[in-house]
Structure 1
Amino acid sequence: MPKILVVYASMTGNTEEMAEAIVEGAKEAGAEVVSKEAFDATADELNHYDAIIIGAYTWGNGELPDEFLDFFEEMDGLDLSGKKAAVFGSGDTSYPIYCGAVDTIEAKLKELGAEIVGECIKFEYNASEEEKEQGRRLGRQIAGLVAVAG
């Protein structure tokens, strides 16, 4: 059974709701899924899963949220070669950089050798039902990819 880790940072619950939709989709596709808030996770845990899905809301003008910074910095030096990965997060279009945290996380995962699969999910404030369905599809897609690879 493929093992997937979902790590996220959520202040108002919007990013957490998307994480739940992604987890739901991955479980529907037969994956074993662990979901954690970033402050309860360690970057080393990424090594113990077939796929990783990371989400964070964007703070201010494109920045990572404070409660995500330690986890993000711990990722330095990891070798995620061969890992399937995806990124999601919420933002606010009133800022010049929309969902900048998603782009920052995606760049870090690529730098560490992870293979980004699917399109990153960016949504404003709380995800619509259509966007949550996109999250469930992403969860199913990644579960299917790691099941085939395993």
Structure 2
Amino acid sequence: MLATVVFATITGNNEDVADIITEALEDADLTVQEVEISQADPADLLKSDITIIVPYTYDEGALPEEGLDYFDDLSELDLTGKVFGVAGSGDVFYGDDYGVAVDRFDERLASTGAIRGADKIKINLAPDKDDIKHLDQFANDIIAKATAL
């Protein structure tokens, strides 16, 4: 089974989140491609069984600038039968705008026909020990969903 983990980061927190998820997927013997969003081609998701996107939310609810084209291009894909998840770090300081990119990518992937493998996860700033446990469970839930198909 092939999984693709696409991340966007400014501070490095989301790269940490992506690394934690990638490690959990690899521990389950999946082949994983982890790629920064500006280097990723959405069409490559057609080859993956599992897609996980780890975006950051910029300022007051903006998507990552380097991921805007990627986000737009997702709407042109048919990912029916693929499993997805979205997780990302943000800053609760922004209140209602906290983690909006996670919500928007989750909605966009669902609109492609892909199947949500786990509830989205929002992490305040850098992942701590509890967040790592949640991310491991997130990855395991996605694997279970993909395996059941």
Q: Name the TM tier (shorter chain).
A: over 0.9
Alignment RMSD (CA, Å): 1.2
Separation in 2, partners of 1:133, 1:40: 28
Separation in 2, partners of 1:16, 1:113: 26
Separation in 2, partners of 1:67, 1:35: 16
Moved over 3 A (4+): none
Moved more, 131-140 or 20-29: 131-140
Paired residue type of 2:29: G
Paired residue type of 1:141: D
Give 3-state SS (helix, strand or coil) of 1:94's partner.
Answer: helix
Separation in 2, partners of 1:147, 1:55: 22
**Residues 75 and 111, structure 2, Cα contact 8 Å, conserved in 1:** no
Separation in 2, partners of 1:26, 1:53: 11
Paired residue type of 2:105: I
Matches within 5 A, 1:49-68: 49-68=48-67
Following superposition, the deviation at residue 79 of structure 1 comes to 0.3
Separation in 2, partners of 1:40, 1:132: 26
Q: Deviations over 1:30-83 (max 9, x none)?
A: 111110000111010110100100011110111111011121112121001111
Matches within 5 A, 1:19-98: 19-95=18-94, 96-98=96-98
Moved more, 124-133 or 6-15: 124-133
What is the match of residue 111 of structure 1? 111
What is the match of residue 146 of structure 1? 146
TM-score by length of 1: 0.93
Of all paired residues, the percent bearing the same amino acid is: 32
Separation in 2, partners of 1:87, 1:62: 16
Following superposition, the deviation at residue 27 of structure 1 comes to 1.0
Structure 1: gaps of 5 or more residues: none
Paired residue type of 1:16: E
Aligned residues: 148
Paired residue type of 2:117: V
Say if 2:114 is the partner of 1:136.
Answer: no
**Residues 91 and 123, structure 1, Cα contact 8 Å, conserved in 2:** yes
Select the structure that is richer in helix: 2
Q: Which has the higher contact order (CA 8 A, sep 6+)?
A: 1
Give 3-state SS (helix, strand or coil) of 2:138's partner.
Answer: helix
